[in-house]
Homo-oligomer: A and B are copies of this chain.
Amino acid sequence: MITKPTLLLDKDKCLQNVEEMCLKAQKNGVDFCPHFKTHQSLEIGSWFKRFDVNKIAVSSLAMAEYFSSEWDDITVAFPINILEIETINRLAGKIRLNLLVESTEAARILNQHLENEVGFFIKIDTGYHRTGIASNGYKEIDAILEVASESDRLEFKGFLTHAGHSYNCRSKEEVLDIHNENAALLGVLKYRYNDRLPGLIISVGDTPTCSIAEDFSMFDEIRPGNFVFYDLSQEQIGACSFDQIAVALACPIVAIHEERNEIVIYGGGIHFSKERLEDENSGTIFGRVAENKGNAWGNVIPKMFVKGLSQEHGIVSVPDSRLGNYKIGDILMILPVHSCLTANLTGSYTTIGGETIGRFRF
């Protein structure tokens, strides 16, 4: 019985999301290197093995250590943190570890301190402007390759990008434009370096482009992560439907304020995170309410959404017509704006069948 905020997982939807992305990768003949930062769970990770997935991406060395008990080939898709060189050396002695390098400085420090062989990708910026070297930054790229060539412990794997600017899109067409631009920029890079460095991998990774695009011929590897659960942000972008969202936070109703059409739930910033989205009708929202179907959830209820979050409170806006349906002690099923952050804030998943699934906690 649910008595406090509980992250529910619809395992069937999740498995369906996993299967679709695995089959898309297979159909396109690209390697699938799913990003496990979203679910952070060995058990959910194991569901990929039935599709012969044998490499993964994570966002920290701590997460790589957690997954290293079951995975041999792990890419830490985050600019290398040289302060963790001891962890890098320990992990690289155990599994095939791949790192992200975007400066000669980082490459030089690795050269000096690596005790075991690691793979490395050069991080390329194709327009997101968060991290990486511009795709035409040949001078910087060559300089890194030059430094790395001095070490027999640094093996160049290829070029990796995260087209995170796809998160600003609000239609499939906009996402496909980014996908195609990404392919063009990385295609030039591959053409330029492939003779010299045969077998180099072009790795791309955001959920919007990987969900919407069908043609991956310019790439060798895809690394989406969020698709495993999807969320309201992905729905707004056009990367999924509400029906594909595989997690919901079940939240008890603790107060009802009919005079202002509000329900107060036990479920706040420490459960959802404070990720928000701007809805053209409702303004800033922090979650949407779906029908409660016992321990599962159904359709999204129109005009019912989380309008504010405090540390443990959520304020839900409720249409007049539905106010009479609720009483304190009922459970509202809330679809999260950003499932990665919501999952990160909960210690485990409860499947709609009542099973508990554990996850990494740092």
A341 and B311 form a contact (CB under 8 A): yes
Contacts of A300 in B (CB 8 A): none
- In the complex, the count of this chain's copies comes to 2
B344 and A255 form a contact (CB under 8 A): no
Compute how far the CA of A86 lies from the CA of B102 in the bound complex, rounded to whole angstroms: 54
Which residue on B lies nearest to A2, using beta carbons?
B83
Compute how far the CA of A260 lies from the CA of B130 in the bound complex, rounded to whole angstroms: 10
Question: Quick check: is A264 within 8 A (CB to CB) of the other chain?
Answer: yes
Compute how far the CA of A269 lies from the CA of B103 in the bound complex, rounded to whole angstroms: 24
B79 and A264 form a contact (CB under 8 A): yes
The smallest beta-carbon distance between A230 and chain B, in angstroms, is 16
| Selected contact of A81 from candidates B83, B254, B362, CB within 8 Å | B254
A328 and B103 form a contact (CB under 8 A): yes
Question: Quick check: is A164 within 8 A (CB to CB) of the other chain?
Answer: yes
- Report if A78-B3 is in contact (Cβ < 8 Å); known contacts: A274-B341, A327-B105: no
Number of interface residues, chain A, beta carbon within 8 A = 56
Question: Quick check: is A84 within 8 A (CB to CB) of the other chain?
Answer: yes
The smallest beta-carbon distance between A257 and chain B, in angstroms, is 8
- Report if A80-B254 is in contact (Cβ < 8 Å); known contacts: A4-B62, A131-B264, A311-B59: yes
Question: Quick check: is A129 within 8 A (CB to CB) of the other chain?
Answer: yes
A131 and B81 form a contact (CB under 8 A): no
A130 and B264 form a contact (CB under 8 A): yes
The smallest beta-carbon distance between A13 and chain B, in angstroms, is 22
| Interface membership of chain A positions 315-336, coded 1 if the CB is closer than 8 angstroms to chain B and 0 otherwise | 1000000000001110000000
Compute how far the CA of A349 lies from the CA of B240 in the bound complex, rounded to whole angstroms: 39
A81 and B270 form a contact (CB under 8 A): no
Question: Quick check: is A208 within 8 A (CB to CB) of the other chain?
Answer: no
B264 and A269 form a contact (CB under 8 A): no
A344 and B79 form a contact (CB under 8 A): no
- Report if A81-B273 is in contact (Cβ < 8 Å); known contacts: A311-B341, A362-B347: no
A313 and B254 form a contact (CB under 8 A): no
- Report if A81-B3 is in contact (Cβ < 8 Å); known contacts: A106-B328, A341-B311: yes
Contacts of A81 in B (CB 8 A): 3-4, 252, 254, 266
**New A-B contacts (7) at CB < 8 Å, excluding given A82-B329, A131-B254:** A4-B62, A78-B312, A78-B313, A79-B254, A83-B329, A109-B329, A345-B345
